Homo-oligomer: A and B are copies of this chain.
Amino acid sequence: MGRWEANARGRLEEAALSLYTERGFEQTTVAEIARAAGLTERTFFRHYADKREVLFWGAGALQESVVDAVASAPVEATPMAVVALVLDTVATAIPAERREQSRQRQAVIAVNPGLRERELIKLATLSGALAGAFRGRGMSDLAASLLAETTVSVFKIGFELWVAPGNEATLGLLMRDSLAELRTVTGG
């Protein structure tokens, strides 16, 4: 993808998030997004399958990265060390520059039940993929499922804190703090 195309993708996302925020997701059309970005509908559909995908395009790549992180962790790494590697991978995949878009995105999803369902399905799929990767390291089905659910919970709650208004801490730090807190509350 050339520089211009990458730019088109970003401009479309920015226009879409602004319109979803102002008018609501349901009330926005692809034609309006393309127009606001100064591009054609045809260009929109070269980058996104539909207007919902603007909000969820990152999920597939994120899932692939974290599954790779689990698979390529040192053989001797403990389950918690592997989870830490997964969280580092997430923090790298969602850089600080994405914070404002992420805030807008989260606010749009929060008020739309259909989008919330979609988000939950994506997280459940991520958990399933992570469980598969943990099993690939020789963990039992039960341990793998529990660790995957825990990892996704820590990611979800860390991410919610990261996009909360006024929060200045990095995503990596918020997820690490959440994991430490989880170990404290479940350890007592």
Show the binding face of A for B, using Cβ within 8 Å.
78-80, 113, 116-118, 120-121, 124, 139-140, 142-143, 145-147, 149-150, 153-154, 156-157, 161, 177-178, 181-188
Q: Is the interface of A mostly helix, strand, loop or mixed?
A: helix
CA distance A5 to B184 in the complex (A): 48
Q: Is the pair A143, B186 in contact by a Cβ cutoff of 8 Å?
A: no
Q: Is the pair B142, A146 in contact by a Cβ cutoff of 8 Å?
A: no
Contact for A120 among B117, B146, B150, B156, CB less than 8 A: B117
A118 and chain B: residue at smallest CB distance: B117
CA distance A129 to B150 in the complex (A): 19
As for how many copies of this chain the complex holds, the number is 2
Contact for A79 among B117, B121, B188, CB less than 8 A: B188
Q: Is the pair B121, A181 in contact by a Cβ cutoff of 8 Å?
A: no
- Beyond A78-B188, A121-B117, A187-B187, is A181–B142 a contact (Cβ under 8 Å)? yes
Known: A79-B188, A117-B118, A146-B157. 6 other contacts (CB 8 A): A80-B186, A113-B121, A116-B124, A142-B181, A143-B181, A149-B157
Please list the 7 inter-chain residue pairs (A to B) with the smallest Cβ-Cβ separation, ordered nearest first: A149-B153, A120-B120, A117-B117, A146-B182, A79-B185, A78-B188, A147-B185
CA distance A177 to B113 in the complex (A): 34
- Tell me, rounded to whole Å, the shortest Cβ–Cβ distance linking A165 to chain B: 14
CA distance A188 to B149 in the complex (A): 16
